[in-house]
């Protein structure tokens, strides 16, 4: 009976995360500079996951990658009592040509969190997995996150507060990592 309930909770968590991801990244989201804040959360027997949209964000340049949403996901691990932060960005290629981004077990997104006592950057377990470069044709949408297990870093939320983050979404206009480009994103989040 307990195994069946644990399996049911795990399946429910996967369905909820899938639905959250689909709704988060399927829509165009708020315009740059918007102050709309959205929060969602769910609980499993081992953790609670909450997602909050950036209280404000801006990005430049405006093309070829247009940022449609920026969000922060916090995960409370009940085994340790610690809360971890992951940053997400949804974007669309509005340019006239394909661009190439890192996918798989890797990400085109990196972040620098402004000096704060709210977040601690800690060493984490590094996973070994495949990374690849994928084409994004004009009109294609995508998403990226940081940090992932491939980075060997975790962001721990020490206590509630507001953080300012500068993120870099990297891409190439050449198939073999030629002609690198970046979209710089400035965002702020209020973490509970």
pLDDT in tens, 120-154: 999 988 888 888 999 999 999 999 999 998 888 99
For residue 81, pLDDT over 70 is answered with yes
Query: Is 0.85 topped by the overall pTM?
Result: no
Question: What's 151's DSSP letter?
Answer: G
CB atoms within 10 A of CB 73: 19
Long-range contacts of the stretch 93-96 (C-beta < 8 A, 24+): 93/64, 93/65, 93/66, 93/136, 93/137, 93/138, 93/139, 93/140, 93/141, 93/142, 94/63, 94/64, 94/65, 94/66, 94/138, 94/139, 95/63, 95/64, 95/65, 95/138, 96/64, 96/138
Round to whole Å and give the CA distance between 57 and 67: 9
State pLDDT tens for residues 56-79.
Answer: 999 999 999 999 999 999 999 988
Predicted pLDDT of residue 183: 97
Round to whole Å and give the CA distance between 78 and 71: 22
Predicted pLDDT of residue 43: 55
Round to whole Å and give the CA distance between 118 and 158: 5
pLDDT top residue among 192 and 39: 192
3-state secondary structure of 10: helix
Show the tokens assigned to 30: 């708020």
CB atoms within 10 A of CB 111: 22
For residue 107, pLDDT over 60 is answered with yes
Predicted pLDDT of residue 10: 40
User: Tokens 């988060």 label which residue?
Assistant: 24
State pLDDT tens for residues 16-44.
Answer: 333 333 333 333 333 444 444 455 555 55
């Amino acid at each position: 009976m307990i195994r069946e309930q644990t399996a049911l909770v795990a399946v429910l968590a996967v369905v909820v995360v899938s639905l959250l991801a689909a709704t988060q990244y399927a829509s165009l989201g708020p315009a740059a500079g918007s102050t709309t804040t959205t929060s969602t959360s769910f609980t499993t027997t081992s953790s609670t996951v909450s997602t909050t949209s950036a209280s404000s964000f801006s990005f430049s340049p405006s093309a070829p990658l247009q940022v449609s949403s920026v969000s922060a996901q916090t995960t409370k691990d009940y085994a340790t009592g610690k809360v971890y932060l992951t940053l997400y960005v949804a974007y669309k290629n509005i340019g006239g040509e394909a661009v190439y981004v890192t996918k798989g077990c890797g990400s085109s997104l990196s972040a620098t969190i402004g000096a704060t006592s709210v977040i601690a950057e800690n060493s984490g377990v590094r996973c070994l997995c495949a990374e690849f470069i994928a084409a994004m044709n004009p009109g294609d949408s995508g998403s990226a996150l940081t940090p992932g297990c491939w980075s060997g870093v975790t962001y721990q939320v020490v206590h509630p507060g507001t953080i300012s983050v500068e993120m870099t979404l990297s891409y190439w206009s050449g198939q073999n990592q030629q002609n690198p480009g970046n979209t710089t994103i400035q965002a702020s989040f209020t973490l509970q």
